[in-house]
A and B are shown apart, each in its own frame.
Chain A
Amino acid sequence: DPKIIQKPKYLVAVTGSEKILICEQYLGHNAMYWYRQSAKKPLEFMFSYSYQKLMDNQTASSRFQPQSSKKNHLDLQITALKPDDSATYFCASSQDEGWQDTQYFGPGTRLLVL
């Protein structure tokens, strides 16, 4: 059974619209993260959460807003979508905060903005 679920697997959106990417982890971890992988850039760290609190934000744009309704959920809301937002977005989790603990990655959501 998958331990980190990301929904949807694929997503097509129009410029200017808003989408929410879902992430749920069933590993009992306390920390969760979002990463972005686009064709033009290496994998980029976006956010880290620990016990549902934002710990680090490396995303310049406020159009990206993580939302944590439960400890094992960390969704990513993206507003005013642009074609440059097209990428695969990975959710990850670890037992505790920081990179001392191994991070486990979900399968990703591939977003295409037209």
Chain B
Amino acid sequence: AQSVTQPDARVTVSEGASLQLRCKYSSSGTPYLFWYVQYPRQGLQLLLKYYSGDPVVQGVNGFEAEFSKSNSSFHLRKASVHWSDSAVYFCVLSATGGYKVVFGSGTRLLVSP
């Protein structure tokens, strides 16, 4: 069975501070992992994705994520957040890249001035 857990429903950080959003996954097959962001009243936009290779993947707008097989995690990071990063972030899992995907419940990020 596949599952994705985002343990933090809400995260608040100050502008300019560093950020980590947590994602834990469970997959019986090879995991394909993604981070998507949803800005208010918009659809989802891909930040980054991981299939294989270097466990640290770079995404758009300064985001990166690190895959850890031993910890079953795919945490999202950013060195310095901007107020425009305020949004909901979803961790997504697809086993072996098929159609069946599982979304995490999302983490709402609020960047305070």
Contact with B along A91-114 (1 / 0, CB 8 A): 010000111101111111000000
Query: How many interface residues does chain A have, given as a range?
Result: 20 to 34
B44 on the A face (CB < 8 A): yes
Stretch in contact with the other chain, from B15-23, B62-70, B74-82, B93-101 = B93-101
Contact with B along A26-59 (1 / 0, CB 8 A): 0000000000000000111100100000011010
Q: Which residue of B lies closest to A2 (CB)?
A: B43
Query: How many interface residues does chain B have, given as a range?
Result: 20 to 34
Shortest distance between the CB of A95 and any CB in chain B (Å): 13
Assess whether B99 is in contact with A45, with CB atoms less than 8 Å apart: yes
Assess whether B99 is in contact with A106, with CB atoms less than 8 Å apart: no
Residues on A with C-beta less than 8 A from B42 are: 107-108
Q: Which residues of B contact A (CB under 8 A)?
A: 32, 34, 41-46, 49, 51, 90, 94, 97-106
Q: What separation, in Å, do the CA atoms of A97 and B90 have in the docked complex?
A: 21
A42-B105, A99-B34, A100-B51 in contact; A4/B99 too (CB < 8 A)? no
Assess whether A45 is in contact with B101, with CB atoms less than 8 Å apart: yes
19 contacts between A and B (CB under 8 A): A42-B90, A43-B44, A43-B106, A44-B103, A45-B99, A45-B101, A45-B103, A55-B99, A58-B100, A90-B44, A92-B43, A99-B32, A99-B99, A100-B32, A100-B97, A105-B43, A105-B44, A106-B43, A107-B43
